[in-house]
Structure 1
Amino acid sequence: MSKFGHLISSSEYVFFSFYSENNRLALQAELNNIAEALKDKAKVIKIDIEKNRELTAALRITNFPTYVLYKNEEMVWRNSSDLKSDEIMNLIQQYFQE
């Protein structure tokens, strides 16, 4: 969890994708698209919930996939829907215009 705390303390945006092994392959193309779209705006980090149970529980993540956007230790956006990459980008675009 200390690594997570270090990541979110950044003044840059950090986009997390929490996934399970069941939906990993289905999400791969979408996450690649998001990473490409955000390459100059945010770090993109994939988190396997099976390997990070303590973090997943601490953030009360129960639906997968769950996407979270942080900046300066603050969660600025969260969504637990199975969205396409363009839908995600449309939802979070407002944060990058500030």
Structure 2
Amino acid sequence: MKSSFKDIVNSEEVVLVDFFGTWCGPCQALMPILKDVKEDLGDAIKIVKIDIDKNKELATKYQVRSVPTMILFKDGEPKWRQSGVLQKKDIINVVNTHS
């Protein structure tokens, strides 16, 4: 069963949403960083990737103007957002601040 975006971000977990484009170089650079973040934090975080070209409504709803844009959700509320590529330690610091 496929979960809706709303169900995913309303979970009790901290959810990091990565809005990306397949054509975007910095988005490709962020992928392995997010993989490392997930390996370090494990069940403490859920990471969801949203292709803005396939999910225009979501990108519009969250006012994603450039990619990559990461938005951190806790209890369904956006708690932090950042456009551009961040290093693993910086992303982990943000997650730890909000978990």
TM-score, normalisation: structure 1: 0.85
Q: Distance in 1 between matches of 2:81 and 2:32?
A: 20
1:26 Cα offset (Å): 1.9
Q: Distance in 2 between matches of 1:28 and 1:81?
A: 12
Q: Name 1:73's counterpart in structure 2.
A: 76
Deviates more, 1:51-60 or 1:75-84: 75-84
Once the two structures are aligned, what percentage of the paired residues are identical? Answer: 34
Q: Could you list the runs of 5+ residues in structure 2 that have no partner in the other structure?
A: none
Aligned-residue RMSD, C-alpha: 1.6
Helix, strand or coil for the counterpart of 1:14? strand
In the alignment, structure 1 residue 15 sits paired with structure 2 residue 16? yes
Q: Distance in 2 between matches of 1:93 and 1:61?
A: 24
Q: Distance in 2 between matches of 1:82 and 1:26?
A: 7
1:38 Cα offset (Å): 2.6
Is 2:17–2:70's contact at 8 Å kept on the other side of the alignment?
yes
TM-score, normalisation: structure 2: 0.84
Q: Distance in 1 between matches of 2:84 and 2:55?
A: 20
Q: Which amino acid is the alignment partner of residue 80 of structure 2?
A: W
Aligned residues: 95
After the TM superposition, list the runs of 4 or more consecutive aligned residues in structure 1 that deviate by more than 4 angstroms.
Answer: none
Q: Distance in 2 between matches of 1:13 and 1:68?
A: 11
Task: After superposition, give the CA deviation of every residue in 1:21-48 in whole Å (9 maximum; x if it has no partner).
Answer: 1234322211211221231211111111
Matching residue within 40, 64, 78 for 1:37? 40
